[in-house]
Structure 1
């Protein structure tokens, strides 16, 4: 019986030599398959993805899932290093494939799980693949440190206000350097806060850092965080402070802070935009302003308040509506003014009374809770039906894509397609398969979540029943109740509120409307 073979190929970056290109790996496997009279059951290609973590490789995960489903009899990868560069994960990958009844063939490493007498050769190759990755990582790290010691700027993008010259050195950018100098002047000498600075820059059309760097999610709005990043960047004094963080392990990629005495400092590395004296004065001023305080009233509704018009949260202001012990105001209005959003102001006293009254009514009304659950269950059922219908459609599309791959392989085997034509069409199929797999995972997650709706609701009922025995006029009890049973509280422009109870995920249900109609 002809062996049904799956081909796995992977390249990480341009680091991979031409001999390990996707085209070369597929051709290598196809030659072996053709010579033995086997058939191709599918191709699995991870293009431009590191071999350190299986979880980051969609096609490897699909290969392992299909192995468990017995979709093929064997797997061919050119070498152990193409399977991956993590010793433990390579051993696990091989074990999953072989324990599923499939044969693992790595021709370049002269390994075949059926004919090889032991796994010693595989283990050695897997160890060498990981060590090669570690050595490469160390070389890059030492190279960057050496460049940093010579005063070379290591970041991928120059700091806002600078550009790189033909030698890669930082020089002031004629357009954005004056903006940096103005930001420091406004903050230090004119007493402007970060929000006022960001508002001014936005209103007058100054290009944002993300626009200048040509980032994917560009915008015209300056964020307060961007102002803080500029005000705290020592690069503007002409000093390069590099190697402030390093990767603890090339396997985990976890970054850790480097002690100050181990950081690489290079003075006068490039022209300064800000004097060292002004920079230090700004840091001292920021530190003194940072010693602000809040109070318990703010924390009672913290992270629950939301403006439904602009989507921003709401902030507590002690100086607003003092007779009500302060008020909550839209953060979008506070930060960007009335041209962006209205205040949506609501007094703390009014809000507290409205929320407590609604909770007391909910706690004391079993009829209301039962009617709410009927509404939730019915709505979920309708949504779930639509999701299952879409999922079935995606499954059919995925089956058709797999047939397309088989057709391509047949044409390639019969020399009706060149390797370049095969690879181009196969890459399009792989991209579509990746998109379908991602959407399927999303749908399956939502469907599974919705199956738990009844259990979620019963848990919600238990919480309500528990608090029915307690005094919600006690602020600590109320605070606990708020954050356990409320998803969010929306405050409309006219001051009315809508409470969204956390029975299910917010994208599934508008709990407030259901409650009001119950």
Structure 2
């Protein structure tokens, strides 16, 4: 640093509570550092950074501190003055990490009370010892506060005055707001009558009814209201707790700490019997899945009967569109397919007709009978791709094979002929379509190949042709083929140097893809050219993802 260049000095001040006294202290600290920096001829004031009413353990919420570090990174500061280590950070790891980072930037931190300069050799050792003491002090204060809160809980005294829909606080007690209480009663009534969370939320929003924050009542808010025992006139204390004094993360109390149930603390909006009915229905719906009942409230024949052998969850009934306009196909789907955002179960979807057909075969009856099924079948476990394990109530187990033929059956000869004629008369005009679109057909399942483009490791974007019978419940055993590979096969078979659109449309009627590695070229002069080829590594079908086993131990909520 040149001799005539002044040292750019910043100061950081903080108080953890926002009161008149601490505000005065903050102003005093600020004035002290401003005067100190101006008295030094070789120093110039960069800025005084401050945080008011924020704990030293929570760095992310300290806007002044975050801005200070950002300005250091931008090269605007050479020296930071701070009263003590505890003002800078109460977390030892955070303190050392930040000081070391500033040291790499060439920024010194000077702690006034401890007389420590972070750029000196002994500075980091002293910081480690003092910061450990500061963190221990913070943890001790936290434990003392927790002890006081727990003693208050034991005496039936809560530690919050949180606003709840239907109530407001008057003289330290929850008091009913009649208009909002009617909304709460309506939510409970709708749920017991079979209304979904979504439908109730839409109704309330349509009528202009909002939450306590003036926003539309969300689906998740409906669920929280239905689970809130406060509406019964009782209070459950310590439903959440702070995980540790460093992160200050609030988590749900699922048995880690005791909960305190205090009866008759305020006026009830919902009676206890209604509340318990709602909890039973919520638990039942969670176990059965999203759509366990039909519109009459009656169970479907296979509700709670079909179990996924892959993830252990139950199957639920869904209505899927078919090729026939206005007609739906009942299909049973594992709830694990939507259980997690990125790790979904890859089990087979089963049409209800196939379940009925397999059940009739196992029970030795000509057609499915719901009463006989309920009397004799305990459960059905979906194993592998096409196996169903029937566990009967007499203890016997029977394995029944089934085939998914819905897609193949929907392509009748008449439909195939009609579709082919339409595609020939009106070639696809969609974006990405080529002369091969609609002219590559699977010899195994009768469906067309679709053109797809996706990114492949070490190859970039690659265009594939893939049978529509692969995936989406289909069971076609054909393999995909890259566009470039197919062009090279066709060029070799026709004896041309390079395949072009003109050659393809002029000589080839369509291509039939057989078992993996084999195809047939159907020429326009009614001739055929059989061909064989080696599959490229990227053309081979990948093994399906198998999710990890679910944890067997499920925490149950204890009685209060």
TM-score (norm. length: structure 2): 0.50
SS in 2 for 1:179: helix
User: Contact (CA 8 Å) 1:238, 1:270: kept in 2 or not?
Assistant: yes
Q: Distance in 1 between matches of 2:291 and 2:195?
A: 21
User: Contact (CA 8 Å) 1:29, 1:78: kept in 2 or not?
Assistant: no
Given the alignment, which residue of 235, 241, 246 partners 2:236?
A: 241
Give deviations 1:222-262, integer Å, cap 9, x for gaps.
Answer: 33332222222111122211212322212123425341882
* Partner in structure 2 of residue 318 of structure 1: 319
Distance 1:165 1:58, change over 3 A: closer
- Structure 1 residue 271, shift from structure 2 partner: 2.2
Superposition CA RMSD, Å: 4.3
SS in 1 for 2:175: strand
* Partner in structure 1 of residue 27 of structure 2: 23
Give deviations 1:276-300, integer Å, cap 9, x for gaps.
Answer: 22211122233334424679xxxxx
User: Contact (CA 8 Å) 2:454, 2:462: kept in 1 or not?
Assistant: no
Aligned counterparts, 1:363-442, within 5 A: none
Given the alignment, which residue of 135, 144, 157 partners 2:149?
A: 144
* Partner in structure 1 of residue 272 of structure 2: 276
Q: Distance in 1 between matches of 2:119 and 2:40?
A: 15
Distance 1:364 1:101, change over 3 A: same
**Consecutive unaligned residues in structure 1, runs of 5 or more:** 296-315, 328-347, 367-455, 480-518
Given the alignment, which residue of 248, 253, 258 partners 1:257?
A: 253
User: Contact (CA 8 Å) 2:18, 2:52: kept in 1 or not?
Assistant: no
Which deviates further from its counterpart, 223-232 or 108-117? 108-117
SS in 1 for 2:267: coil
* Partner in structure 2 of residue 506 of structure 1: none
Distance 1:123 1:177, change over 3 A: same
- Structure 1 residue 13, shift from structure 2 partner: 3.8
Q: Distance in 2 between matches of 1:146 and 1:28?
A: 42
Distance 1:13 1:181, change over 3 A: same
User: Contact (CA 8 Å) 1:363, 1:464: kept in 2 or not?
Assistant: no
Q: Distance in 1 between matches of 2:320 and 2:11?
A: 68
Q: Distance in 2 between matches of 1:118 and 1:261?
A: 41
* Partner in structure 1 of residue 501 of structure 2: none
If asked which structure has higher relative contact order (CA below 8 Å, sep 6+), I would say: 1
Give deviations 1:426-452, integer Å, cap 9, x for gaps.
Answer: xxxxxxxxxxxxxxxxxxxxxxxxxxx
* Partner in structure 1 of residue 197 of structure 2: 194
TM-score (norm. length: structure 1): 0.54
Give deviations 1:435-487, integer Å, cap 9, x for gaps.
Answer: xxxxxxxxxxxxxxxxxxxxx99769957626x154343125999xxxxxxxx
* Partner in structure 1 of residue 188 of structure 2: 184
* Partner in structure 2 of residue 465 of structure 1: 462
Q: Distance in 1 between matches of 2:196 and 2:78?
A: 67
- Structure 1 residue 91, shift from structure 2 partner: 1.6
- Structure 1 residue 83, shift from structure 2 partner: 1.3
Aligned counterparts, 1:120-131, within 5 A: 120-131=125-136
- Structure 1 residue 86, shift from structure 2 partner: 1.0
User: Contact (CA 8 Å) 1:28, 1:78: kept in 2 or not?
Assistant: no
Instruction: Name the one with the larger helix percent.
Output: 1
- Structure 1 residue 269, shift from structure 2 partner: 2.2
Distance 1:65 1:164, change over 3 A: closer
* 2:165 is the counterpart of 1:160: yes
* Partner in structure 1 of residue 283 of structure 2: 287
User: Contact (CA 8 Å) 2:154, 2:260: kept in 1 or not?
Assistant: yes
User: Contact (CA 8 Å) 2:12, 2:82: kept in 1 or not?
Assistant: yes
* Partner in structure 2 of residue 171 of structure 1: 175
Query: Which structure has the larger Rg over C-alpha atoms?
Result: 2
- Structure 1 residue 17, shift from structure 2 partner: 5.9
Distance 1:192 1:95, change over 3 A: closer
**Consecutive unaligned residues in structure 2, runs of 5 or more:** 293-316, 330-406, 411-418, 420-426, 437-452, 476-560
